Amino acid sequence: MGKTITAVNIKKLWYGDTSKITAKITGQTLFAMLKQLTEVKNVHQDTWTLEEAEASKTNYKNQLTGKTYRSDKEMGDVAMNFTLGEYDYQTKADMLGGTATETSWERAAGKVNIEKCLVGLTEDDQYIVIPRADIVAREATTDKAVGLPVVGTELEPTVDGVAPEYWFDSSVVKAG
């Protein structure tokens, strides 16, 4: 049996461009990739979660016997959620879209589609990687400050051989 994990809480969080992922992610490629990602410096208290919705299942009955003879299942979405408690204008643009300078942000007109790679490191040193996530963010007042709640929903990767989600023990995330 391998190492027992609990994936407790979040210790570090990064995001980045999905186009940098060109092949299956390994501990070594994640090590190199982390240097190219943007580290989130502030996640508001108790807002980071990784959630998988329950699968939807439909059973089909044999009309003659009244017993189930087959079933169909649709898997639930997986999402990484967090609220940015402090951020700069570029980070705001990265999550909400729009245009940023060092001293300003301008909202984009209309619908904005944003995809990012998300990487979380838990307090018990487990890396969770979502190579392609659909980002939905908004402005929301949280504990008297305007935070940016973010939901990153796992999307099917567009690169052959890349899985929709990876977990790595930190012991394998190192240079080759």
Instruction: Collect the ranges in the chain with pLDDT lower than 70.
Output: none
Half-sphere exposure of 155 (CA within 13 A, CB side): 18
- 171 phi, psi to nearest 5 deg: -65, -20
Q: Does residue 89 contact residue 101 with C-beta atoms inside 8 Å? A: yes
175: enclosing H helix or E strand: none
Q: Does residue 91 contact residue 38 with C-beta atoms inside 8 Å? A: yes
How many helices (H) and strands (E) would you count in the chain? 2, 13
94: enclosing H helix or E strand: helix 89-96
Q: What is the tens place of the pLDDT at every residue in 106-121?
A: 999 999 999 999 999 9
Q: What is the tens place of the pLDDT at every residue in 62-96?
A: 999 999 999 999 999 999 999 999 999 999 999 99
